[in-house]
A and B are shown apart, each in its own frame.
Chain A
């Protein structure tokens, strides 16, 4: 691990320890935040008892569906829009301001259209993730070096082979960034939608525990999400860095 990596570990561990000390000393009231060790214990018991497995499974399933849908849709739409410069110019301001629209407010509309259940949640997650993928696909296609395309033409490559052997590898880092963002946004969208008005899933479970003053369960689930997203991010971040480095060489 690099020097910065070790430092990062020390900083994060230090922060957790500090929080632990502050909670134990009573500087942070127990009603506001339990000590990290207590949270971890609660989480362990919750996971071991299996009481949250159904909610966790459901949320992860929803996120997975939303991720697949947004990556596929975003990629296909990105390739299509890239091929039509005029459409792209017209759509540009909308794409750039897309995330300014607070989507959660559409959730009730989606419930009526898609019915109660997983579908509206997956749709919200997809709506959140798809444009990140789309924008990065456009970006990636823009940054394909001209000379590579010219070389492909000189070699008489047909469009399919050009796409597979030149365009795709060249745009790959951007596609990866898009996919990474799509995953993060899908998590945010799915959990927020569950939080607002659903009857199952981790988001709902946290809101329910909060409304019933079940702090132990609430903080355990929060910790679960934080750890899950952080680990996922760390893996994707390292992977992305490796791809970027390979490209630079």
Chain B
């Protein structure tokens, strides 16, 4: 179990770095790891915290659903049609690297304050990596498989369900992983600017009230959850790639 101890050592090093930073800048800027953990436990035990979690969770779920289903559909379509894919790729890459936060006012004007704006913001962050990964996955499917599908006269839905999805599955999981991170980022940014509920709002609220302890605690909870989910997806991702190769 070499790997586990090493990972543990990295975590210890990170916490030590945090503690040292805390000593340097003081509690006003950065609460100590122990203090933050205590506040996090306090938050997790309080009844007012969970509705915010639920709010963020629901927004994340909707955004992920839209990003993944939409991304898969568009990605498969662009992957099958080579020319369309070639036309779309640079446009997609451009959209991917656009600071989407600048589009926030437009989304807000179009969707109004509340859940739909957050979901829209999460979706536009997450859908593009899913499209790009799916498209590339479909492109790398050996042509012989597609040719045999044509020989066997598979209908388009059959083609997608029996050939394209299974063949592209490992890459799809990679896309999902990146999509998840960005969707979460999008939802949180959405909450930070235009919401009265959710974890992003809690962070912003704590910043406004100079409540560094709460801010750090929410960030800690968020970061830990995000890393755990991402690590879980990474695990599945690696297993799939190993099986595929």
Contact = CB atoms under 8 A, between A and B. Distances in A.
A4 B106 contact: no
The prevalent SS among residues of B at the interface is helix
Contacts of B182: 99
A213 to B, nearest CB: 10
A162 B240 CA distance: 36
B10 A90 contact: yes
A31 B106 CA distance: 9
Given A97-B230, A192-B189, A32 B101 contact: no
Contact of A191 (B30, B101, B215, B218): B101
Interface stretch (A40-48, A49-57, A67-75, A225-233): A225-233
Contact of B223 (A101, A113, A221, A234): A101
Q: How large is the interface on A (under 10, 10 to 19, 20 to 34, 35 or more residues)?
A: 35 or more
A91 interface: yes
A110 B226 CA distance: 21
B222 A210 contact: no
Contacts of B181: 97, 99-100
Contacts, number: 150
B109 A32 contact: yes
Nearest to B101: A192
A102 to B, nearest CB: 5
The prevalent SS among residues of A at the interface is helix
B189 A8 contact: no
A12 interface: yes
Contacts of B229: 100
B117 interface: no
A32 B188 CA distance: 23
Nearest to A32: B109
Interface in A33-91: 33, 86-87, 89-91
Interface stretch (B70-78, B85-93, B137-145, B151-159): B85-93
Contacts of A196: 192
B102 A203 contact: yes
B219 A105 contact: yes
A216 to B, nearest CB: 13
Contacts of B103: 222
Contacts of A233: 90, 93-94, 97
30 contacts: A7-B83, A89-B2, A90-B6, A93-B7, A96-B231, A96-B234, A97-B231, A97-B234, A100-B180, A100-B184, A100-B226, A101-B222, A102-B184, A102-B188, A102-B226, A105-B222, A108-B207, A108-B212, A109-B30, A113-B21, A191-B101, A196-B192, A203-B102, A225-B102, A229-B97, A230-B94, A233-B90, A233-B93, A233-B97, A237-B93
